[in-house]
């Protein structure tokens, strides 16, 4: 496939500059565009600081860092990007804002330039509305920080040309990333399948089953996750995590499986966004004292079993709805959110009939249809047919 040689990244925030770094290090000439010159100046300074740290730690040579930086040019006039063969938009998660960007881009670049959105949860088809040739539009969802996270979700819309998809798959591999193909469905793979990791933790908190540090302790120490759900939500920021949840829920026509939690909404209302604001589920102020976990392994196993049952169910539903292949699902959850095991493999090890029993018991006790087992999970459990992964 013809490689991309000249790319323009729209948006000089953390994600935009991270994508610029990835492409520049892979030998692509990059123009970083933003309407605010101060944002571009800040982005270059931060990239210089990143490379200085890498050199100081002996992870990169000064020459390779200087060469990568030399491939990144900042522009404030988008007409300077007319020679691009790839444009990647990396701005706020607003459908109107993204549509506006691509209508501007469409008027400048050539007809064979590939247009990509870094959206994490919005419809690629909807974003491409108004583009003269939606066949050249695709989703390229990098994960933050883009330079470190190995996964890219490649999301074709109904209109995406198969050659554009194939070219992007080849490019993502050349950039040193693991690419997975996801249907243009709310949340794609990772942000759809991972919703219960956060939501079920908050449901248990609201029910009084366990407190924040205990749930986090259980998921780390017993579940094997790198971070507990409340730690991770605080790290992501509730302004980001809650909005993604609400977006997925709304786009799924208010399916109870994706229903947001009032607990998180109240944090957002109060401006307690997590680490970035100094307070969220935990207090990050200097000298702050946070409660300790109750290290009860019996309770901890209940917590892990409940959250993982919902994760397994959502993974099964992604397959049932043809969102992705089984292998891409495993890759996405291992490399996109660093889960301890692929969810399908883990479900097989747990026992599909056991998972169905846990879900049915939760639905019977609560009456909440968010616990309904996926038909594919039920069928495979009934036929003693594990997932092929």
Instruction: Please identify every residue annotated as catalytic.
Output: 120, 141, 153, 191
CA-based nearest residue to 281, from 264, 300, 260: 264
Q: Find out whether 69 and 48 touch, Cβ atoms under 8 Å.
A: yes
Per-residue b/e over 310-319, b at no fewer than 16 CB within 10 Å?
bbbbbbbbbb
CA 216 to chain centre: 20
Q: Find out whether 237 and 264 touch, Cβ atoms under 8 Å.
A: no
Q: Find out whether 231 and 282 touch, Cβ atoms under 8 Å.
A: yes
Q: Is 236 helix (H, G, I), strand (E, B) or coil?
A: helix
Classify the C-alpha dihedral 103-104-110-113 as positive or negative: negative
Cα–Cα dist 376/330, whole Å: 17
Classify the C-alpha dihedral 48-9-4-126 as positive or negative: positive
Cα–Cα dist 351/325, whole Å: 21
- Dihedral angle of Cα 74, 125, 143, 306, to the nearest 10 degrees: 160
Which residues lie below 8 Å from residue 387, measured CB to CB, with a gap of 6+?
316, 319, 326, 344, 345, 347, 348, 352, 380
Neighbours of 365 (CB within 10 A): 9
Token pair 């509730």: residue:
238
DSSP element (H, E) containing 179:
strand 178-181
Cα–Cα dist 368/373, whole Å: 12
């Amino acid at each position: 496939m013809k490689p991309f040689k000249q790319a323009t990244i729209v948006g000089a925030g953390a994600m935009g500059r991270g994508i610029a770094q990835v492409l520049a290090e892979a030998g692509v000439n990059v123009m970083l565009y933003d309407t605010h010159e101060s944002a571009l100046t800040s982005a270059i300074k931060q990239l210089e600081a990143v490379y200085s740290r890498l050199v100081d730690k002996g992870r990169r040579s000064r020459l390779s860092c200087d060469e990568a930086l030399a491939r990144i040019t900042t522009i404030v006039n988008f007409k300077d990007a007319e020679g691009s063969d790839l444009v990647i938009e990396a701005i706020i998660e607003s459908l109107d804002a993204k549509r506006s960007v691509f209508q501007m881009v469409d008027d400048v670049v050539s007809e064979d330039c590939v247009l990509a959105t870094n959206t994490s949860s919005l419809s690629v088809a909807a974003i491409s509305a108004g583009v003269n040739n939606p066949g050249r539009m695709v989703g390229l969802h990098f994960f933050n920080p883009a330079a470190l996270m190995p996964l890219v979700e490649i999301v074709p819309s109904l209109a995406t040309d198969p050659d554009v998809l194939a070219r992007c798959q080849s490019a993502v591999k050349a950039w040193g990333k693991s690419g997975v193909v996801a249907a243009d469905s709310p949340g794609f793979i990772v942000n759809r399948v991972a919703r219960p990791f956060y939501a079920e933790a908050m449901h248990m908190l609201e029910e009084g089953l366990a407190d924040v540090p205990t749930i986090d302790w259980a998921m780390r120490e017993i579940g094997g996750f790198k971070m507990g759900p409340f730690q991770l939500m605080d790290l992501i920021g509730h302004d980001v995590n809650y909005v993604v949840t609400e977006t997925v829920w709304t786009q799924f026509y208010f399916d109870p499986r994706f229903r947001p939690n009032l607990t998180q909404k109240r944090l957002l209302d109060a401006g307690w966004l997590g680490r970035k604001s100094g307070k969220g589920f935990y207090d990050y102020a200097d000298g702050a004292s946070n409660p300790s976990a109750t290290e009860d392994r019996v309770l901890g196993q209940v917590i892990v079993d409940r959250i993982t049952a919902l994760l397994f169910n959502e993974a099964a539903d992604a397959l049932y709805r043809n969102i992705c292949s089984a292998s891409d699902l495993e890759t996405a959850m291992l490399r996109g959110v660093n889960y301890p095991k692929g969810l399908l493999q883990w479900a097989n090890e747990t026992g599909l009939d056991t998972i169905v029993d846990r879900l049915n018991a939760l639905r019977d006790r609560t009456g909440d249809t968010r616990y309904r087992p996926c038909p594919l999970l039920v069928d495979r459990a009934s036929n003693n047919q594990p997932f092929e992964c």
